[in-house]
Structure 1
Amino acid sequence: MMFKKFVIFVGAVLCFNISSAQSKYTFPEDYKVLEVLPSITDSRITESNTPHLVVYNPTIKQGKLLLFMPGTGGVALKGPKDLFNTAVKQGYAVINLSYINRPAIAQICRKETLEANPDCASDFRINRIYGTNNFEFTTDKSYDAIVNRLIKLLEYLSEIDKDGNWDSYLEDGNLKWDQIAVSGQSQGGGMAAFIAKEHRVARVVDFSGGWDFSAKNKLATWYYNASKTPSHLWYGTYHVTEPMAKVIRASYIAMKIPENHIYPFSLPVPEGKKGHSNGVRNTGYTSQWIELLGQGN
């Protein structure tokens, strides 16, 4: 597969079809950082066409891939780069995936809609992750799905970045989930958990991963489904000041995450910020991030 590409060299950073919005964060000089528009990997993609963020260290042994998915309204280039830096130090290659993350599931699967379809949240996540079903409350196309975006990105990287060994995360055009750790914040954390239920992934780290319901005050049934990923590879966090902290914790218990793998973060939240996103932003949790991520290589 051949791709049309435009390459700009900026110090140690490679930028592919980069947007005008540049991050002020500087990764270490020995890292390779790539910003790739989804549409250059699949020309059908037009929605949420802000760049994916790809980060790894070509000077160390290539490890597993950490797939991170932002929360509602999240932009990949504005992701938690201190967390990603920690992941690279742990031996991972990191992809912060650009995908359609609006509207939120909690905005759609509620009230009359939830009463009419108790599986609304599960149907929503299937649509957004795989694109294999029809879901009347979104306009997502099958090629907009998380899985397609990731496959197309890895295929593209395999062509233009031979140092990255991106083929190791693909097999016969499909994802090698056992070589991929899945993670995300809020909606993205829920996506990671949903994927880990259905595929045996290398690890799952859910940062405040949402609150899906099947009825008022009743957790969605998918939380209780059997998991292809064994429980010792599951991790979940939340901040104790979050309005939905108790529900998030209850979802982790429903998913049978071991008690010692549930992290109730409690460091002070800066004024004007929210506890909901503090877990992926606050460098005071670096030692916990290392435990959550484990060794990537």
Structure 2
Amino acid sequence: MPTRPARTSTKRPAHRDAPDTAEAFRTLAALPPGPQHDTVRERIVEDWLPMADRLAGRFRNRGENTEDLRQVAALGLVKAVDRYDPERGSAFESYAVPTITGEIKRHFRDHMWTLHVPRRVQDLRNRVRVAGLELAQTTPGRRPTVGEIAGHACLSEEEARVGLEALESFSALSLDAVASGGSDGFSLGDVLGGVDPALDAVVDREAVKPRLAALPERDREILYLRFFGDMTQSRIAERFGISQMHVSRLISRCCRRIREQVLEGVA
């Protein structure tokens, strides 16, 4: 009688850092709060710490200290141990992995961004980053386009652009940092503009413009020649055939009237 070939198990092998703590969890669930409960809990956490360290390693090289990531992962592990219910029948690893990963992602979201960025934008950044890494393997020699990233991540091109901009906004540079391509001593702070003193003049000019337009034509021309043509009062007097004293009085009267009208408008 022919022998039937042995069936190959399709069950995924457990990670080497996934200990069998099913009995310990059942014991923990049956114990009341106290020293014995805490001892069993601490032993379970210690057994699963290698898995937490492995998950923390997935997030290395993202701007956070490795030891800090391990501590965040350990915190997520403790939360998973405290919340896990063995009576539901699911394996602890399937519950702990998303709990620990979520704790690490929350740490990046809440503590690693220099500026507050909406959660939606953070999510777009992550999706665009993953899509870019995956597409880089299929488009060697060039960077994937915005359209390719949007299609791969199931986003619109506008959303992809927002995510790409957020990739460059995770952290801020110091104003003392040396500018890219700059010479020695040339920092980002050196390229910042200062307050333009002409801005106040713009406001003043816009305020007096309608008042100047309402003046008689001769008065407008006299003011223009004096303040914009840099012409002396004596030359203006000769041009209009009047005395220099008359020109002085006209200029003073026009300036006083415009000033009063502007102040009335502000009040």
TM range (shorter): under 0.3
Higher strand share: 1
Question: Normalising to structure 1: TM-score of the pair?
Answer: 0.20
TM value normalised by structure 2? 0.21
